[in-house]
C-alpha cells in the first residue's frame, strides 16, 4: 500500500452496513483539552459520505492522523435531528484519483444510546423502497444541464 493511500479492502470487518445520507451537515473537530478551551476547534469535515451504527466515512479538509480522537456532530435539518459522538480515526488518506481530496474513516468510541437508535432509524429510512422511489423521482425531475431548462 502506498503511504497515505486508502487501505486495501480484502475482507469486510464492519459489523454494521454503511448507507448514504442526504441533506445533512457534519462537524468534525479534534477532541481533547485544546478543543475544550477553544483552540484547534476548526471543522475538519467537508461532507459526510456514508454512515453506520459503528462510524462514518467523511471527506476532510486535511489528512488526519490514524488514532486521533475526534468529536462528530451530524445535523439533519430537514428532520430537526442530530447525532453526536466521540470517535477515533481508523484510517485517513488521499483519494487515489483526486490527490487533493482527503477521506477518513471514523469509528465511534462513545455514542449515546438514543443517538445510536437515531442512526438505525436513519438507515431504515435511507435504505427503504419509499425513500429510493422519492430519490429516483427527484433525480428524473431535476435538470441535468442548463440546456435542459430550455424548452
pLDDT digits (tens, 9 = 90+) for 29-87: 998 765 555 566 799 999 999 999 999 999 999 999 999 999 999 998 877 889 999 99
Centre a 10 Å sphere on the Cβ of residue 104 and count the other Cβ atoms it contains: 26
DSSP 63: P
In 5-99, beta strands by DSSP E: 25-30, 45-52, 55-60, 69-76, 81-94
Q: Which percentage of the chain shows pLDDT scores above 70?
A: 79
- Rounded distance, CA 142 to CA 28, Å? 31
Rounded to two decimals, what is the model's pTM?
Answer: 0.76
Amino acid at each position: 500500500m502506498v503511504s497515505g493511500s486508502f487501505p486495501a479492502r480484502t475482507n469486510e470487518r464492519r459489523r454494521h452496513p454503511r448507507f448514504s445520507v442526504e441533506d445533512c451537515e457534519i462537524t468534525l473537530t479534534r477532541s481533547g483539552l485544546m478543543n475544550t478551551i477553544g483552540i484547534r476547534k476548526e471543522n475538519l469535515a467537508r461532507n459526510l459520505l456514508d454512515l453506520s451504527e459503528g462510524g462514518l466515512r467523511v471527506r476532510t479538509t486535511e489528512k488526519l492522523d490514524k488514532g486521533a480522537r475526534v468529536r462528530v456532530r451530524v445535523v439533519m435539518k430537514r428532520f430537526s435531528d442530530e447525532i453526536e459522538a466521540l470517535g477515533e480515526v481508523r484510517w485517513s488518506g488521499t483519494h487515489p484519483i483526486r490527490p487533493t481530496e482527503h477521506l477518513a474513516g471514523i469509528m465511534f468510541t462513545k455514542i449515546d444510546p438514543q443517538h445510536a437508535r437515531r442512526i438505525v432509524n436513519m438507515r431504515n429510512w435511507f435504505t427503504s423502497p419509499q425513500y429510493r422511489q422519492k430519490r429516483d423521482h427527484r433525480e428524473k425531475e431535476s435538470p441535468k444541464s442548463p440546456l435542459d431548462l430550455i424548452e
